[in-house]
Structure 1
């Protein structure tokens, strides 16, 4: 199993791009937001940023689910996509360790002002736009990630993710 982690700050399109790429490739897609404990959701709903201590139960839940999804799949080496902010080096390192180094980070990167505009137009999500600055502050720029420009159309971004996954699968 190889997990392609679509990472970046809130509002950058992780879920949209990841879901579309997984659909095109017919592989599992996991939404990282679904693994937050209630305490994290309450904290973010109040406008309080998470720290790495808050994030660890969330990270462990994602690792367990990725491993469980892989064990249920027909081909154990089948890839999957996980949408997860993975802002800190600590979180990325724990994901790498928990997934036995079988993960590739794909960072959706863009300007804060444009992402903030996008977030302000989103409704029904626990993450509030005023927390975006804290996410940019918490972002340790990944050294071992493929970076994509978030302000390309979703179709293009999803195809780029598909191309990355298909080229890596053929190389292995």
Structure 2
């Protein structure tokens, strides 16, 4: 039996159990999850929120995190600007980033989702519009969604990973987790 934990990682939390940096302590997974011998299957940047999977099964961890398996990851992304459908086409075709071409992403403009408040709140500028996108990618490069939206001319303001494969953070509050152990 493989242990699988679905964790809704709050903004500002490190995706590891310890903080090696000197200075003021930062929140880590250990502040939320007191389960021995589970490890993150992939990463989520400190300034990103949402679904992080943890498991005690190395093969499951590799299947979730390894780009060869092309596990879909869906993000709710607040971007600066007001992109029209044609502005989103480069994301759908794949973009050239410094580390090469991305695979095509599924991108849809959506209404602002009913999310929890972020602490600190996203900066608001009255003179600059923003909108929300649902973006699904099948790779996992470092800060990929942020780099893709910036390359398309619409910098990311808030990024929430909502789904990985069939797993989602539906009904899991920030800082909470659900045991989804697999037989």
Interval of TM-score (by shorter of Structure 1 and Structure 2): under 0.3
Larger RCO, structure (CA 8 Å, separation 6 or more): 1
TM-score (norm 2): 0.25
TM-score (norm 1): 0.26
More helix per residue: 1 or 2? 1
More strand per residue: 1 or 2? 2
